[in-house]
Every structure is written in structure tokens, then in C-alpha cells.
């Protein structure tokens, strides 16, 4: 039961990312009612597809990864395709989280006075003759003439400072993943609790200002509902972590079913409550004004702060954003770590230690964040990649597994008809961004 609770929070923590807070901007022109309908519909689809993985895992060892599952039913070609898509998507996602996490960490240390120009740390190291100034790290040194000069031993540009904090963020939080899944579980529980408190504080401030009239607003354009679907679709993404969760739960089908349904339901409730708060406080005309002037999370929060008159909203949202980014980072990193282990151990027959696995997991996204940030642009195809391994792949695996093993103890309800419906919806959602780009559907923020 303890593992089931931890797995439930890992499922929810992976899904609830910092992007959740900006979701009301995506749904601004849709209205609260149709936003809830869309959120519930996609929750059903992606919870169903996650349970398909649980069904197919009954046919193999619990420590098998996505690549091994694909090879079992689609041969080596299936392994190569599924592993490649997983690596590109998770590396790009991890690079984005690492970049964002490094920036948050840098701003936090500067604002707390630890590393600012008047910070505690800098005053401490000055006792050793070291000074950090704009442009570098300086030490006092005596030249041949016996004169003392300040020598720049390390150039510290703003870009370099950010890279240092990116490294610190990755090493610190990545170490939890390298140590063990159990450690990630425990740390995630703590973060999730604090994150929940921050969200409750925000909603406590906003609910009294909510208006039923605002919540009854209808879509400005019905086509906006279709355009918003891919963004809400990816907001339920935890499927890349499922192999890690199956391994952690040692293939416990009942526990996994509870964790997936409960964890995704917690996320759904969180999404609906946040939409209720923002759509209740802001009218559609105010949403439209935000989209014109400042279509960002900060624009949304500033509008909410102005209407509620509360200064605590910004601080609580910043705390929630930071913790949500970390919990998402942990879930994605855990999935990538175990995907790497599966590729090496079962694909290439290499038994790698956890330190080597950690290096393969974290070094590429750090290098992408340092030297090739454009790699994160791969996330512009996040909907297509996510649709592949969250819907298309599990549907294909279960379709084959049911014919090879017709009497499995657990079988997801719906039969072949549900599989076909899920496949069609997944493909349609993946194609929507192309219609938006072609001007056939209206664009949304997200």
C-alpha cells in the first residue's frame, strides 16, 4: 500500500508541471464548461491507454522497458522506432526542465541574498582574497615588481552563471534518480505536499472572488475547442515513466491500476480547480485583454492579483511552479533512466552501473541546454511523439498481446472497439497542430 501511494503521487507529480498554471490562457476563448468537458474526455483516453500498458506488462518481466516490449511484439524494428522516439522526446523534455530549473535556482539564490553582489556567500569568500565581480572571479596576486593586482581566473558572464546553476540543478536533483526509485518516491512525496499547500493557498484567495456568470461563458469560437485539444492532451503525459513504475511496483497489477487511476484523477481535479479559479475570477473580455497585451503566466497572475487584491498569489504561484517543475523533472528523468537501462541491458547486452546510466541519462540534455538549446524545439512535435508512445504504441501492443495471450488475468474494458476508437482519437489529436499551422483552425496560446 505504501508503494501504491508513492506511485500514485509519482504519476500525478509527473503530469502536474509548471505548464498547468498557464493552461487557462489556452482555454481563454473556450469557456469553463467546455474546458471541463475536454479535460475529462482526454483524461479518460489517456488513463485508458496507460492501463493498456499494465495489461501488456502481464506478458513480460516487470523490469522490461518500452524497447523490450516493442521488440517482443514488433521485432527489432519496433524496438528501434519506439526507443528512438522515447529518447528524442524525453531528452528534449529533460533539457527544457533542466534549463528552466537552472534559471529558477539562479533567481532564487540571488533573491535570498546567497549569491547576489551583496550576498552572504560572496562576503564569505572575500575573506580568502577572492572577489566575484561583473565579468569574472578575481584573486589577489603579486607581480614581479612586488605590486598586488587583481587577476581574473575565471570569466563569469550571465550566460556562464546560468550554466553553472543548470549544472547544480542537474547534479542535485538527478542524484535522487541515480540513487534509487525509492528515494525519488520519498522526495517526491515531500515536494507534492508542499506544492499542494501552495495551490490550496492560491485557490483559497481566488474562490471568494469567483463569479458564476464568468463560469457560464460560451466559446468565442467552437473551433478553439479542437485547437486546444493537443495542449491538454500532452498535459496528461506520464506514460514515459510507466516502465519505471511497473518495475518499482514489481508488476503488481492491482496496485498499478489504483495508482494510475487515482494519480491521474488527482491531476484532473487539480486542473479543473485551477480552471475554476481563473475562469471564475476573470471574464472572457479580461482574458482577451491578457492575450493581447501579455499572453504569459505572469500576465495571467498579474490580472488575478489585481482583481483579488492579494499579494500572496504571485509568491504561491512561483513556489508551485518551481516545485511542479522539479516533480515533473523527477518523473521524466526516472523514465529516461530506466529506458536507458533497458536499451543497454536487454538491447545491447551491456550491464551498466547506476553512475554510467546516470551519465547517459543526464549528460546529453545538459549539453543540449548548454550548447544546443535549439534541440528543445523538438518539443514542437511533442504532441506527435506523445501520441505515438501514449496511444498508438499501447494500442498496437495490446492488439497483438490479446491474440497471443487471450486469457490474461487482467484485461482493460472496451474490447477491440475501444482500441480502435482510442487509436483514431490519438491520431486525430496528433494531426490538429498541422491544421492550426495551415490556418484551417484558430491558434491558441500554449
Burial class (CB in 10 A: 0-12, 13-18, 19+), 235: buried
Q: 59 near 405, Cβ under 8 Å?
A: yes
DSSP 409: S
pLDDT score, position 151: 45
Tens digits of per-residue pLDDT, 349-398? Answer: 888 899 999 999 999 999 988 887 766 666 667 778 889 989 999 999 99
Written as nine digits, the cell of 268 is 484532473
Which 3 state secondary structure label does DSSP give 381?
Answer: helix
Burial class (CB in 10 A: 0-12, 13-18, 19+), 161: middle
pLDDT at 160 over 60: yes
Tens digits of per-residue pLDDT, 298-328? Answer: 788 788 878 787 778 878 888 888 888 899 9
pLDDT band at 92, cuts 50/70/90? confident
pLDDT at 423 over 60: yes
Which range, 125-129, 164-168, 205-209, 271-275, has the best average confidence (pLDDT)?
271-275
Dihedral over Cα of 294, 295, 301, 306: its sign: positive
pLDDT at 191 over 80: yes
CATH class of 2-113+161-437: mainly alpha
Which range, 25-29, 55-59, 97-101, 319-323, has the best average confidence (pLDDT)?
55-59
For the chain, give the longest Cα–Cα distance: 89
Between β-strands 130-133 and 148-154, what pairing exists: parallel, antiparallel or unpaired? Answer: unpaired
Q: 251 near 182, Cβ under 8 Å?
A: no
- Taking all residues of the chain, what is their mean pLDDT, rounded to a whole number? 85
What pTM was estimated for this model as a whole? 0.85
d(CA 256, CA 244): 11
pLDDT at 175 over 90: yes
pLDDT at 154 over 50: no
pLDDT score, position 209: 83
Written as nine digits, the cell of 227 is 485547437
pLDDT at 439 over 60: yes
d(CA 356, CA 377): 27
Domain ranges of the chain: 2-113+161-437
pLDDT score, position 23: 85
Which range, 110-114, 227-231, 371-375, has the best average confidence (pLDDT)?
227-231
Amino acid at each position: 500500500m505504501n508503494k501504491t501511494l508513492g506511485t500514485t503521487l509519482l504519476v500525478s507529480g509527473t503530469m502536474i508541471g509548471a505548464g498547468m498554471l498557464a493552461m487557462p490562457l489556452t482555454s481563454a476563448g473556450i469557456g469553463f464548461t467546455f474546458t471541463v468537458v475536454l479535460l475529462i474526455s482526454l483524461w479518460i483516453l489517456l488513463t485508458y491507454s496507460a492501463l493498456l500498458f499494465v495489461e501488456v506488462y502481464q506478458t513480460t518481466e516487470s523490469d522490461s522497458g518500452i524497447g523490450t516490449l516493442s521488440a517482443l511484439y514488433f521485432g527489432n524494428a519496433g524496438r528501434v522506432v519506439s526507443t528512438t522516439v522515447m529518447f528524442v522526446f524525453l531528452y528534449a523534455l529533460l533539457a527544457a526542465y533542466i534549463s528552466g530549473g537552472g534559471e529558477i535556482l539562479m533567481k532564487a539564490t540571488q533573491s535570498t541574498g546567497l549569491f547576489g553582489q551583496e550576498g552572504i556567500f560572496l562576503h564569505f569568500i572575500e575573506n580568502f582574497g577572492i572577489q566575484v565581480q561583473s565579468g569574472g572571479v578575481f584573486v589577489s596576486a603579486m607581480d614581479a615588481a612586488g605590486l598586488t593586482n587583481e587577476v581574473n581566473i575565471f570569466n563569469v558572464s550571465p550566460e556562464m552563471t546560468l550554466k553553472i546553476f543548470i549544472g547544480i540543478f542537474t547534479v542535485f536533483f538527478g542524484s535522487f534518480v541515480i540513487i534509487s526509485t525509492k528515494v525519488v518516491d520519498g522526495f517526491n512525496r515531500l515536494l507534492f505536499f508542499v506544492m499542494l499547500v501552495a495551490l490550496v493557498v492560491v485557490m483559497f484567495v481566488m474562490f471568494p472572488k469567483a463569479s458564476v456568470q464568468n463560469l457560464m461563458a460560451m466559446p468565442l469560437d467552437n473551433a478553439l475547442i479542437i485547437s486546444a485539444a493537443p495542449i491538454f492532451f500532452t498535459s496528461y503525459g506520464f506514460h514515459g515513466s510507466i516502465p519505471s513504475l511497473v518495475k518499482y511496483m514489481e508488476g503488481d497489477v492491482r496496485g498499478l491500476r489504483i495508482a494510475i487511476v487515482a494519480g491521474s484523477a488527482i491531476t484532473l481535479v487539480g486542473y479543473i480547480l485551477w480552471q475554476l479559479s481563473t475562469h471564475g475570477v476573470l471574464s472572457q473580455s479580461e482574458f482577451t485583454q491578457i492575450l493581447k497585451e501579455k499572453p504569459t503566466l505572469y500576465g495571467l497572475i498579474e490580472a488575478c492579483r489585481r482583481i483579488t487584491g492579494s499579494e500572496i498569489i504571485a509568491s504561491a504561484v512561483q513556489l508551485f511552479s518551481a516545485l511542479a517543475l522539479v516533480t515533473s523533472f523527477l518523473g521524466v528523468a526516472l523514465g529516461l533512466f530506466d529506458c536507458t537501462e533497458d536499451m543497454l541491458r536487454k538491447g545491447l547486452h551491456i550491464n551498466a552501473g547506476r553512475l554510467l546510466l546516470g551519465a547517459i541519462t543526464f549528460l546529453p540534455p545538459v549539453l543540449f541546454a548548454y550548447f544546443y538549446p535549439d534541440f528543445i524545439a523538438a518539443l514542437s512535435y511533442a504532441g506527435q511523439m506523445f501520441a505515438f508512445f501514449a496511444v498508438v504504441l499501447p494500442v498496437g501492443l495490446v492488439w497483438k498481446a490479446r491474440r497471443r495471450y487471450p486469457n490474461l488475468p487482467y484485461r482493460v474494458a472496451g474490447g477491440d472497439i475501444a482500441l480502435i476508437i482510442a487509436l483514431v482519437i490519438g491520431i486525430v489529436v496528433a494531426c490538429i497542430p498541422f491544421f492550426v499551422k495551415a490556418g484551417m483552425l484558430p491558434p491558441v496560446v500554449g
